[in-house]
Structure 1
């Protein structure tokens, strides 16, 4: 079982979009996947409620102190992939999620206020034993070079950056409102292609 934690120290960076999007892509690829929601706001859990409990992936809401127990149950059920969605500004939850992970994904918007939080994330990774981590540029403007400038800045900080950028597209939020993902909401759309490419990349490095 692979455990992937989605971590950021800034709210609104696209963590839930990445977590549920990759979980659904895994299901579409024939894997058994689930999402664990550590965020008290329960954004992923609410998405799961809108989706319906009989439609995979399963979404479990829990406190960080219960994470080890939840993962033990998941392992006994032969899941292939767990995506852990974390709060925006909780170091304790982030460290718990990072320690449990085989790989950490760090969504950041290509803005200086987001990039500046990477130093805090780097400290959390160090405290948790420095697991493998990849930054995902998310909510990038479809026009311009801001994402490329961000990629250069992130690389200079010593982080690996996913080759696929998630751009600012209405399909992501519209799909979330319905308990689905962009791949399901708009199968032939650009957002769907982005999620598919991102999943293929993440699957290749796990």
Structure 2
């Protein structure tokens, strides 16, 4: 049976897409799963992160499989990795280009990060439309959540109008995420007992059950 493909997609920039993809991949890896991370975003954020990871850990990068690929090879790469890994996490381009459609089409589940602010909530609609057009299930993840619970709950209620699943686990606006990424790591590796680490682990556990 092929592995599960989780495509992290969001057409609006600044939603924390690449950070979420890296953290989700490593969280699954720490659950003793074989995980591949694929960067098909031309900005190559994850490619730079993975290089830092190899320097921080070693050439094996902690057992995480990584590929950076764009264009016509993207779909085939994801398909091949899905035959080898339990999970394939794909970081897709931020716009509705061909590569973004390929990434969504390859997904078993489209994971859409959004910050809990009105502009971010409004901007999520095109990504949801793309997932719907490709007939792929989607889940929204509230990311970079500020301490102001009232606004977050209001935005979550608004997202509920879109008739899409919203993950119960939320990721806060925490320094540990950025600090870990700078070292090629993730919060569960960098600060295992931090709130950021607990949030990522909870999200990974939840998404493993959603499809």
Structure 1, unmatched stretches of 5+, are none
Q: Is the 8 A contact 2:52 2:183 kept in 1?
A: yes
Counterpart residue number, 1:44: 46
Cα deviation for residue 127 of structure 1 reads: 2.5
Q: Deviations over 1:57-102 (max 9, x none)?
A: 12211104211221233144x2100000012224322211110000
SS at structure 1 position matched to 2:139: strand
Cα RMSD, aligned residues only: 1.3
CA distance in 1, matches of 2:162, 2:78: 32
CA distance in 2, matches of 1:24, 1:122: 25
Is residue 2:117 matched to residue 1:111? Answer: yes
TM-score norm. by structure 2 comes to 0.92
TM-score norm. by structure 1 comes to 0.94
Structure 2, unmatched stretches of 5+, are none
Residues 1:181 and 1:93: Cα distance change in structure 2 (over 3 Å): same
CA distance in 1, matches of 2:107, 2:101: 10
Counterpart residue number, 1:80: 86
- What is the number of residues matched between the two proteins? 204
Question: Moved runs in structure 1, 4+ residues, more than 4 A?
Answer: none
CA distance in 2, matches of 1:57, 1:38: 16
